[in-house]
Structures are given as structure tokens and as C-alpha cells.
Amino acid sequence: MSVYTTVSRAELEHFLLQYTIGELVDFKGITAGMENTNYFLNTTKGRYVLTLYEAYSKEELPFFLGLMQHLSAHKVETIKPVADRKGELLQHLCAKPAAIIERLQGEALKQSEVSVEHCRLIGNALARFHLAGQSYSPQRDNEDRHYYLSPKITGPLLLALSNEDQQLLKQELDFHQTIKWDQFPSGITHSDLFCDNAVFYSVDNKPVLSGIIDLYLACYDAFIYDLAIIANDWCFDSNDHLDQERWLAVLSAYDKIRPLERIEKQAWVTMLRSAALRFWILRLDHKLHPPKGEMVLYKNPDEYKLKLQACLQDQEEIMRVINSSF
């Protein structure tokens, strides 16, 4: 979430006339995530998030908004869109498709705050997310993974990298081509469940998951890949290596709800590498072709290069732990 499109107070007040959520009190832009324009807004009736969709057409967006409703109906902690006076979830603002989403209690989690208990909670929630998604009939391919691994993107990136990084990228692109994705249990995945896409609050000094947010990369993909994305973001220590207690907490909590299959356990390192490669490339592309906006979040590509290198270095130990734990 960033701010690429600036919305004035007058424009927002006029927009809100289509809803029954009260009058505007105040609003401010959000800098987190990388895809859409987002504002927190407070009205006389509650707290909401306004999202303007920068990269999606009005034909694509019903998949995401419908998924939010579906997951909420199945008691998965997530965000829920607000219908306007006519019952529509999608409107337009500043010539962009736009929606209002209920704002969750609590705050998005920071990497420095992630605990073992946070990991248990998100592992449990993701398993229920995956199971609930199996009864959601609309489908969407993982266009993001295919796009960022295409020569159109990787070709210019290779020219901009050092010789050492070029070799690493070429090696991992070649390895990625060997993965047989259709062999893994699959369904609707979040595909971007970084810790800042989960909102928590505290009760008696214990974390409570308020909800999973930013579902706009959700798609049909391998479930184990979704878990690898979480491990790469939630479970690395300050020395850029997987923290065993945290990533086993994610996997154990998930496994209790949706038991992992043998082929998924065997592919754990493969999925960690693939997920790290994807986000390394995505961030490199943003660095090479920076988007323009009023408040835009940039993330360091080297974070995921280092995680990829750590996975390669530690892969035997990672598999030893997986095999002895499950």
C-alpha cells in the first residue's frame, strides 16, 4: 500500500455520499506495501480504509472483493469490503476503481515485533484460509510469479547487476524452470503474506490476530509456496538465517489444520528459494523502474538476495530439521 493518486478532501466527501458510513472526519495516506493507493479514513460512524486500484481493471477486482467476503463468511480473519447504497462493492474515484474496506482493530505487524506466538497464529489462519478458498469458485492464475520471472523483466535486470549477482540470478532462474508446480496441493493462496499484511492487537499481553489484509495478489497456486513466503519474511533472524523456532511454529500450527503432504515437506527448500527469487526480482524491478507517487514505499532488494543465499547455504540443515520434525 502506497499513495500514487492524491485525493482531496472535497473529492473524498463527495465520494462518501454513495455510502451510509457517515460523514468524513479525517483521512491520511498509508505507506506500506507496493501495489495500490491507500488511505485511512475516519467517519462519524467508524474507521475504514479507502483503496484506489492502480494496477487492476474493474473486471479483475470482483475476484478479490468476493474472496474477502467468502473468507469472512468462513470465519477466516481478514478484511471485508463495504457495499454502497446500491449494494455495490466497487466504485470509481479520481478515475480509478475504488473500494472502501472495514478497518481492522490493531496495527500491522513489523518484522522486529514477530514472535513465536505470532507465527503460530498466522500458520493456523493460513491453513483455514487455504481450506476456505477451496469452496471459492472464481479462479485466478499466479500472473505475478510468471510476470516477474519472464525474460521481459529479468533481461534488463541482469544488465544492471554485478557479475556475482548475475550468476546467482541466472542459476536460480534455471533452477526455477525445473519445478513441476502441478504436482503440489494447490488452491487459492494469499501470495503476499508478509508480516505487514497481518494486523494484530493485544489482550492480556498476548497477541490476537485481527485479520489478514492486502489480498490483491491472491491466486491459484501451491499452498507450500504460500508458507514459504511467510517463512522468508516472518522467520529470519538478525543474521539473515531462518529462526528454527519461529518457522517450525508456522508449519506446526498449519499442519494441525491442514496436514502437509510428503511432497510438500520435500519441496520446502525449493519453495523458499522460489519465493525469495520472486521478491528479489520484484524489488530489483521497482528499483530499476521506480513508480511515481506522493508516498511510495521502496523495499531493499538485497534483503531477498541475502535470504536466497542463506537458504542455499543452509539447505541441508533446513531439510534435516523438517524431516526430524514432521
What was the pLDDT predicted at 293?
56
Sheet of 24-29: strand order equals 24-29, 37-43, 47-52, 96-102, 91-93
Q: Which three cell numbers stand for residue 252?
A: 506446526
Q: Which parts of the chain sit beneath pLDDT 70?
A: 1-2, 32-34, 291-298
Measure the CA–CA gap between 283 and 286, rounded to whole angstroms: 5
What was the pLDDT predicted at 263?
97
Instruction: Provide φ and ψ at 219, rounded to 5°.
Output: -170, 175
What was the pLDDT predicted at 210?
98
Q: Which three cell numbers stand for residue 250?
A: 508456522
pTM: 0.92
What was the pLDDT predicted at 291?
67
Q: Which amino acid is at 221?
A: D
Condensed to tens digits (0 to 9), the pLDDT of residues 105-114 reads 999 999 999 9
What was the pLDDT predicted at 110?
92
Measure the CA–CA gap between 2 and 234, rounded to whole angstroms: 21
Q: Which three cell numbers stand for residue 205?
A: 499481553
Per-residue CA distances from 185 to 265, 269, 314 (Å): 12, 16, 25
Q: Which three cell numbers stand for residue 307?
A: 535470504
Contacts of residues 8-11 at CB distance under 8 Å and 24 or more positions apart, as own/partner, are: 11/93, 11/94
- Catalogue all structural domains in the chain, each as residue range(s) with its CATH number: 9-103 (3.30.200.20), 108-325 (3.90.1200.10)
What was the pLDDT predicted at 288?
83
What was the pLDDT predicted at 294?
52
Identify whether the C-beta of residue 36 lies closer than 8 Å to the C-beta of residue 54.
Answer: yes
